[in-house]
Structure 1
């Protein structure tokens, strides 16, 4: 009965997401001067990792858990013993739950999701888990969800992966590693990307007392049958903070936004925002559990160059910030954006072009040339991608625009539009 109820809840969530289409009109901000204080929900990345660790070790409790759709889907999915787990658009949940269920002896599930999810590859992770002894089969297309998993006791402890893949594949293995009888030795072949996300996972393992090493391209995780009672406090989401960095950068000198709850020694790779946005005249001050973003000067650059291999999720925000400021950018290290909720590089190309941008993309880079003309009342399509909606919203400091399917922000930041209104943005449903 519990299984049936879980399946119905997951299906209801999926149906609701597919049916409702919220279209919002954002008028140009009335004065371009911002002073505000915002409390942001816990990091989706940290929350999903913490939830999986809690499922493995019930002694763990979690504070400041993300209220995002992805975290809710992850939490519900972990409760299923047998049957179908529909994770909708939650790519992180797909990768993490694949590793989790493969290592859970006696459980048997089919992992599936939205149409886009069935187009996002899982073969690298599936092959790695199979080499450890996992029983995983493809239900439809080879290399893609849905996948059927029969949980087994995994005793092999050595596996290798390409180093330039999404860190979620790597973290999926690292998160289950301490629960395996012999731990895990993971070799990464080639140049490693998204190192901060790997270190985030290892940092959380350290917080629950799991020993690990990361030397050269070899990661080892020691086995641990039980952990001491531990509270994992999730830091607020730096990816969500990126939209406020963009807002401050596009606002007048003297504007400032206080964001809670953040720390200087963050586990999140997107914390690099505090360095990158100094180029846009935004200073970051760290204080007691919060950061203060302040516009101290106008941007004097004509082009910004960034290698975002370790923080690809902020590429959309930076590209839109540059467009809004009338400057160019060359962003590299973006190869993982092709397999996100949408092909984010092509989506950026399409939507920025509609606004009047001169932009080109490859399979791993984006180049935006300086221009000062921004079209108004353009409707931005979001492609079932939360970051498309939120990255473009700050442009309301420069022009009027429409955001299609604006409810997609609930994937990571359900309160985004409410918080934007608190900054005096004129946001109205069409």
Structure 2
């Protein structure tokens, strides 16, 4: 599906939008529910990723195809490795077979797992024969994706002796690790995170409980981008959000202050307001703990005509696409002066934004959604626009609520 986007008729945006649960929290909660079936989940994400995760957890033997869902690949690898008697082949899209799992597989093998690569060493597809894992101690590099770490932490309470995980080096993506540990604490699992050592105690059963998933902050980022590019006085209310969020991307509220966007919390919702039209000459942000909002921030800065320097982006190379190279290619199409390395992005101020360019999305939901707010400044096309269903199936409908003109072409 190819969509044509053009500016809203009224650039003073005003709308209220309900966003479903965080994909990150939903997938963690789903795995915990698989381990402890008496748990219930409310406000679960309606994303493709959560659907794939739920379906994967229901399989006990045979093929599990998780398509583009990287979180499901990492979480299900740990889950099936620890499930005695289950035997599955875990695979995904072509891009998924290029995304490494070796660090996680090595750690699980240290704990006693039986995992075999079926094609290339270190990459899916993998065959997993579930076993009772009795070893307790394992180590991982600290600068890897937090999903590897969370995969181990989520299965830890179901292991006979629990888990002691040592992280080697400087830790990145700390909020996602703390999100996992907070969910464990919420259901009564004793854990600790001191220095570079994480311990999770074993627990065979938990009390009945409903896990309420907060709405997705990554999804909120596209409305922050829209408000920043819109006129002063624009206002969007989003639900359901908490001021004390477990999600690292909630740092958006602080980052976008510098771009004229004020965030107000109240009644489990946030209200975004464009309060001033002043902006810095350059926005410098370290995104080690929130790399998923890098695309939105880069596009916002380009639309505002300001420079930005984003760091801490090393994990973006192995996402649904190489997001740094994808940003370089697509922003350059629009006239941006941009450079990227393996972990940084630099953008110079741009006076011109080219019209009616077609943005390629590379099977990456965030490419489609990050570029969409730019329609406030220029008309553009989005190729393979249906890719948003991976995390936010209602995105185009909600964007129309803001007045964006969207037609299929």
TM-score category (smaller protein): over 0.9
Distance, in Å, in 2 between the alignment partners of 1:372 and 1:285 is 32
Corresponding position: 1:113 with 2:92: yes
Q: Deviations over 1:157-197 (max 9, x none)?
A: 10000000000000000000000010000000000000000
Structure 1 counterpart of 2:249 = 270
Q: CA deviation at 1:372?
A: 1.7
Structure 2 counterpart of 1:6 = none
Structure 2 counterpart of 1:339 = 318
Structure 2 counterpart of 1:296 = 275
Distance, in Å, in 1 between the alignment partners of 2:14 and 2:311 is 33
> Is residue 357–residue 380 contact of structure 2 (8 Å, CA) maintained in 1?
yes
Secondary structure in 1 aligned to 2:262? strand
Of 163, 168, 171, which residue of structure 2 is paired with 1:192?
Answer: 171
Q: Deviations over 1:329-380 (max 9, x none)?
A: 0000000000000000000000000000000000000000011210010000
Structure 2 counterpart of 1:77 = 56
Distance, in Å, in 2 between the alignment partners of 1:376 and 1:219 is 51
Of 188, 195, 209, which residue of structure 2 is paired with 1:230?
Answer: 209
Distance, in Å, in 2 between the alignment partners of 1:246 and 1:27 is 15
Corresponding position: 1:218 with 2:231: no
Distance, in Å, in 1 between the alignment partners of 2:372 and 2:153 is 36
Structure 2 counterpart of 1:17 = none
Corresponding position: 1:41 with 2:24: no
Structure 1 counterpart of 2:373 = 394
Q: CA deviation at 1:276?
A: 0.4
Distance, in Å, in 1 between the alignment partners of 2:244 and 2:64 is 35
Structure 2 counterpart of 1:354 = 333
Secondary structure in 1 aligned to 2:236? strand
Q: CA deviation at 1:31?
A: 2.6
Distance, in Å, in 1 between the alignment partners of 2:160 and 2:278 is 54
Of 62, 65, 86, which residue of structure 2 is paired with 1:86?
Answer: 65
Secondary structure in 1 aligned to 2:271? strand
> Is residue 73–residue 93 contact of structure 1 (8 Å, CA) maintained in 2?
yes
Count of matched residue positions in the alignment of Structure 1 and Structure 2: 409
User: TM-score, length-normalised on structure 2?
Assistant: 1.00
| Within-5 A mapping of 1:308-387 | 308-387=287-366
Q: CA deviation at 1:27?
A: 1.5
Secondary structure in 1 aligned to 2:264? strand
> Is residue 29–residue 398 contact of structure 1 (8 Å, CA) maintained in 2?
no
Secondary structure in 2 aligned to 1:185? strand
Q: CA deviation at 1:28?
A: 2.4
Structure 2 counterpart of 1:101 = 80
Distance, in Å, in 2 between the alignment partners of 1:92 and 1:191 is 22
Q: CA deviation at 1:299?
A: 3.1
Q: CA deviation at 1:29?
A: 2.4
Q: Deviations over 1:34-61 (max 9, x none)?
A: 0000000100000000000000001100
Q: Deviations over 1:54-89 (max 9, x none)?
A: 000011000001000000000000000100000000
Distance, in Å, in 1 between the alignment partners of 2:242 and 2:405 is 31
Q: CA deviation at 1:300?
A: 2.5
Unaligned runs of 5+ residues in structure 1 are 1-21
Structure 1 counterpart of 2:260 = 281
Q: CA deviation at 1:32?
A: 1.3
Distance, in Å, in 2 between the alignment partners of 1:302 and 1:119 is 38
Q: CA deviation at 1:277?
A: 0.3
Q: Deviations over 1:135-154 (max 9, x none)?
A: 00000000000000000000
> Is residue 95–residue 169 contact of structure 1 (8 Å, CA) maintained in 2?
yes
Distance, in Å, in 2 between the alignment partners of 1:221 and 1:97 is 19
Distance, in Å, in 2 between the alignment partners of 1:372 and 1:241 is 27
Distance, in Å, in 1 between the alignment partners of 2:111 and 2:278 is 51
> Is residue 10–residue 403 contact of structure 2 (8 Å, CA) maintained in 1?
no
Distance, in Å, in 2 between the alignment partners of 1:42 and 1:276 is 22
Distance, in Å, in 1 between the alignment partners of 2:226 and 2:279 is 17
Distance, in Å, in 2 between the alignment partners of 1:29 and 1:330 is 29
Structure 1 counterpart of 2:222 = 243
Secondary structure in 1 aligned to 2:50? helix
Instruction: Spell out structure 1 runs of 4+ moving beyond 2 A.
Output: none
Of 160, 170, 174, which residue of structure 2 is paired with 1:181?
Answer: 160
